[in-house]
Chains A and B, each alone.
Chain A
């Protein structure tokens, strides 16, 4: 390889002066060199306790939400808005745990029957009280086949009594194991003890909906004017593909402590376009940060780049049903040969962490096991990989031939190019082709197991290892590797029954060790969430699932 040090001494073209010249061409003496502006800003110290007169937060919203009906959502852009418009029984707190939401307290003695005490001061945005009945209605609604919710499986995964049967149409929704003991006591009965059940309830799909409104307006109840929520804000404007606006809900039980008067969410699907609007001062809080710009932003706007670990793993899944990847040696060889330090730090570089297991280390109740391969150096892993590949019968005469599938996206492309280059450089006898497909075609190809290796990622729904590990169960719906190991399934089943936190963590660690041996997927890095947050935005404190609430934020005088 090249001696890279030379680069520094070589003649290089600098973009800075070029761009400055370009700008100077447009207008002489324009007082707006972006870099000097930032340094000026940095110099001025903001007092976070002083509130600005205009309490309006403008947020990047990712893509346009598919719906604002909490029982029909499936993606993050929808959840980010619904966290402000609706309030779940419990809400996430920055430490990764939960804090009271519309339920002021809850109790359980057996982890199977839960009693939630709903605040007497809790009100809908039209002034009606929020009652236990509302939750009974709402939870029945999300499971009702007529609602056709994509997240209907969620309460079933939480083992709420009869939930699965209701989704399958075998029982009517009325048979769901929920009950309004009195107006303010909501009782949930599970089929078996689920110790982490409460932590599952931060998900927006468990939000209540206002029965009268839903019944009166049907599918149109989410419109501006119709919408009734119990969150800290109420919907006032919705222009598809341009903006969603909501203002403080005066009926909210904690309205006195809500500082923001208005939140505007702009659905900008392109992170580059979003960043430009942020830099033009039109957005206070971005949905994401484009990876190619992160180094520049760290230099120019260091204290505005906010990075936090995320419960999610980026991985490559092997098609275990056919050669060459029905051989675990081949799978391990390819997994070993990926240099995760480079992937996390150079290729992505937002703060991602190299990942050697499916479950991210930050998940509560998970102790990452010291698997054999995670402890080696990269050079050792590569040596082992070569050995395994030779053992499996691949050499110069018989190169390993396969393709890598990914959905069209610049980041996925970059990762795929980097990884295949690594394989070629370190393993030698591999013949890889890359294949990109647009999203729906890619989903279809994966669902039909019509690939060799596919790019994949999994984001947890709640903060507990099962949210990740259930992925690779033999009958796991998203187990596109078609991986199946009875020992793994058994361990998972045992962990689900185990009430002792330490023992459960041990089962999870053992499950991960099985995965390290079988390697149905090659974990690559642990996700991070990253936002550009203006210095005048106070109170941004995400949990490891990037749950943040506008009611905690405010605009600092600036």
Chain B
């Protein structure tokens, strides 16, 4: 049973690939994406940030959890080796920013991915199928939207303990809700377009309609909203920490660093500015990459 499904899937995938190749949509998209200078630059910068996040700690003489009573709230300085200064316990912010970026980048990307995958399909399905299905799906969304989420998180911690996987579950659980509504709205509008009607006349299946015709046409707004989600999810992670679910001290994240920085802005502005600069830069990159992808994949531009 399982193997037949798997086989079927494989065949389907393969045929899809064949089809894709035939139309060379992906080749075309890649070519267009790499011709987009802003997107390409962003990709390079994001690459550097990723590199910094993973290799940065090796460039410093300090460990991320090394406290120093003599250098609490020390300002950034090349001479002391604290390139980004230190925090309230004298821990090096250069290293901590790098370490914090690991979880934050993962959470941001992951939140956006879940939103794009689940949110887009959910919204497109509800909007395209319509009728009863749409109503049930939308009411379900409203219930999820109104549910007191803090309790969901508290229960997660209580029953499953602390686990990095749970962070992603919690993030995944909320990130797609708005996306689903936005995509559904767009789908309703696209549904009335001539090309959809034409495709329906040709007898294209519902699933194919959604994935081949609806989804590509909403990708523009999906890309925009997904980039907006990245910083939200990064900040959301620090809220999870508050409830005991996020990353645990002495580990850190950009959200937590920003949180700490906000409380000391009068006395140690760098504690706020460093994580903020990293987050803004990262978001810029995601934004341009999102735009680039959108332009590259836009079916109307072909």
**Contact bitstring A276-308, B, C-beta under 8 A = 1, else 0:** 000000000000001011011000000000000
Q: Among A211-219, A229-237, A433-441, which stretch is in contact with chain B?
A: A433-441
Task: Given A2-B70, A13-B75, answer yes or no on A408-B243 (Cβ-Cβ < 8 Å).
Answer: yes
* A283→B297 CA distance, assembly (Å): 57
Consensus secondary structure, chain A interface: helix
Chain B residues whose CB sits within 8 angstroms of the CB of A436 once the complex forms: 241, 244, 248-249
Known contacts A420-B250, A438-B243, A441-B157; A15 and B267 CB within 8 A of each other: yes
Interface footprint category on B: 35 or more
Whether a CB of chain B sits under 8 angstroms from the CB of A25 is no
The residues in A between 423 and 460 inclusive whose CB is less than 8 angstroms from any CB of B are: 424, 433-438, 441
Number of A-B contacts (CB under 8 A): 105
Does A150 belong to the interface (CB within 8 Å)?
A: no
Check if A346 sits within 8 Å of B244, measured CB to CB: no
B242 → chain A closest CB, angstroms: 5
Which residue of chain B has the shortest Cβ distance to A420 in the bound complex?
Answer: B250
Complex: A295 Cα to B76 Cα, angstroms:
19
**In the complex, which residue of chain B has the Cβ closest to the Cβ of A279?**
B266
A1 within 8 A of B: yes
Chain A residues, CB < 8 A from B76: 12-13
For A18, the closest partner residue in chain B by CB is B269
Interface residue B89 (Cβ < 8 Å from any Cβ of A): yes
Asked if A418 and B67 make an inter-chain contact with CB atoms under 8 angstroms apart, the answer reads yes
Q: Closest approach, in angstroms, between the C-beta of B267 and any C-beta of chain A? A: 5
- Interface status of B270 (Cβ within 8 A of chain A): yes
A28 at the interface (CB under 8 A from B): no
Q: Count residues of chain A with CB under 8 A from any CB of chain B.
A: 40
B250 in complex: contacting residue of A293, A342, A434, CB < 8 Å: A434
CB-CB under 8 A from B75, the residues of chain A are 12-15
Chain A residues, CB < 8 A from B243 = 408, 438
B235-255 vs A: 1/0 string, CB under 8 Å? Answer: 000000111100011100000
Tell me the interface secondary structure of chain B in the complex. Answer: loop
Cα A433 to Cα B72 in complex, Å, equals 23
Nearest CB of B to A532, in Å: 14
Segment of B35-43, B78-86, B225-233 in the binding face: B78-86
Q: Are B72 and A2 in contact (CB under 8 A)?
A: no
Report B118 CB to chain A, min CB distance, Å.
28
Residue ID in chain A nearest B264 by CB atoms: A292
Given contacts A10-B80, A15-B269, A438-B242, contact A1 B70 (CB under 8 A): yes
Q: B61-99 interface mask toward A, CB cutoff 8 Å, 1 = contact, 0 = none?
A: 000011111111111111111000100110000000000
Flag if A417 contacts B80 (CB, 8 Å).
Answer: no
Contact B244 A438 (CB under 8 A): yes
Contact among B65, B80, B85 for A6, CB-based, below 8 A: B80
18 contacts between A and B (CB under 8 A): A2-B70, A7-B79, A10-B77, A11-B78, A13-B85, A272-B263, A293-B264, A293-B266, A296-B266, A408-B244, A410-B263, A434-B249, A435-B162, A437-B157, A437-B244, A438-B242, A438-B243, A441-B158
B interface residue numbers (CB < 8 A to A): 65-81, 85, 88-89, 154, 157-158, 162, 241-244, 248-250, 260, 263-264, 266-270
- Residues of A at the B interface (CB closer than 8 Å) are 1-2, 4, 6-7, 9-15, 18-19, 272, 290, 292-293, 295-296, 342, 346-347, 408, 410, 413-414, 416-418, 420-421, 424, 433-438, 441
